[in-house]
Amino acid sequence: EIFAGEGRVLLPGFVDLHTHLREPGREDTETIESGSAAAALGGYTAVFAMANTSPVADSQVITDHVWRRGQETGLVDVYPVGAVTVGLAGEQLAEMGTMATGVGAVRMFSDDGHCVHDPLIMRRALEYARSLDVLIAQHAEEPRLTRGAVAHEGPTAARLGLAGWPRAAEESIVARDALLARDAGARVHICHASTAGTVELVKWAKDQGIAITAEVTPHHLLLTDARLETYDAVNKVNPPLREGSDTESLRQALAAGIVDCVATDHAPHAEQDKCCEFAAARPGMLGLQTALSIVVETMVRPGLLDWRGVARVMSERPAEIVGLDDQGRPIEVGEPANLVLVDPDATWTVEGQHLASIASNTPYQSMTLPGRVIGTLLRGRITARDGVAASPGVPGGGR
Ligand code: DOR
Ligand code: ZN
Ligand code: ZN
């Protein structure tokens, strides 16, 4: 009877290619269990757990642990993302092959763990990734252009005295790695595209036949640097909130398929890491439970996407990008399915303390948002219903 009710929308379970769970290392802000509950409540049936844990997920011991913990919890399939390199200086490639063949079966590697400063290392990483048929997810930040930066470089930051993060810091890496991927014949995925220039570069690269894909976060679709006015560090994020011309370009690009999918960059942080001075606060914001509503607000309501399009950017494209064939495809009769049921007309009011994450750093505090997840099914089992996550501990039986 979960399916009862008129005007509801049934979609394939959402797939998030970019989630920060804080296990191991910062379990005071999120665990695989708490993050899995947030994911189920947000309509997700698969999430990709980013590699910048502590220690970094640069070995099979950690990537296998992440997969196993996700399966034990049983609320969402937690796919580990492996780090491209080992060591702080990022001078040595990680054993990607070992991680790819472990029980965690890593499909996606990222520099969002250890920064890769050296283009030669990235070139070798792309060649290695190609031989393994895995993907590299590029955080796209030239660190020599963002040293000390805390906000988008523009008139607002200048007026408020906040050090600026230029668009070129992102765009130069997007351009560089599009060319490196072309030469290596490898696939590269651009994380959290945040500028109109990145959209232009991704479009250019796709037109050349380069195997490039891109994601956009809900917050980069909705929020701008106008948010900085209050100096509230909840709005601090990497890449930073940009300008209205960027959000507009990102929305159009998502509608047109230039940007392939929505990914949350869900980034829980402790109260003490967010309530300090803006410059000292950690970057990142919660996203799993609010993603669908922000997509409804920014894309469905203005007529840029219909519900078929929502299925494409939240489920089908992300599943295709990482080669998950149990997600986002038509379901056979009688087959246990990954589904999310949505009430498109219902609204709800965000309350950070009531979200399933341990941390509560949502930028949407007290906002009333459209689109409500009624229920989520993982292989036919209800993992969330009417705002309550199922109890953890029923093994997911994934893969
Ligand atoms: O804002 C961000 N937070 N951007 C990142 O790239 C990392 C993330 C985090 O781990 O908190
Ligand atoms: Zn990142
Ligand atoms: Zn991230």
pLDDT tens track for 348-367: 999 999 999 999 999 999 99
d(CA 259, CA 216): 7
Using a 6 Å CB cutoff, which residues line ligand 1? 20, 52, 112, 139, 237-238, 265, 267, 283-284
Output the residue whose Cα is nearest ligand 1's atom 10.
Answer: 267
pLDDT in tens, 108-165: 999 987 778 889 999 999 999 999 999 999 999 999 999 999 999 999 999 999 999 9
> What pLDDT score does 20 carry?
98
Locate all alpha helices (DSSP H) within the chain, ordered by sequence: 32-41, 60-73, 96-101, 119-132, 143-146, 155-160, 167-184, 196-207, 218-222, 244-256, 291-295, 307-311, 317-321
Output the residue whose Cα is nearest ligand 1's atom 1.
Answer: 284
ipTM, two decimals, is: 0.97
User: How remote is the CA of residue 112 from the centroid of ligand 2, in Å?
Assistant: 5
Which atom of ligand 1 is found nearest the CA of 269?
11
Residues serving a catalytic function are 265
> What pLDDT score does 114 carry?
79
pLDDT in tens, 151-192: 999 999 999 999 999 999 999 999 999 999 999 999 999 999
pLDDT in tens, 296-321: 999 999 999 999 999 999 999 999 99
Residues that place a CB less than 5 A from ion ligand 2:
112, 139, 191
d(CA 150, CA 281): 9
**Looking at residues 31-46, what average pLDDT do you find?**
98
Output the residue whose Cα is nearest ligand 1's atom 5.
Answer: 238
Which atom of ligand 1 is found nearest the CA of 20?
10
> What pLDDT score does 116 carry?
83
Whole-prediction pTM value?
0.97
> What pLDDT score does 328 carry?
58
> What pLDDT score does 181 carry?
98
Crossing angle of helices 196-207 and 244-256, rounded to 10°: 30
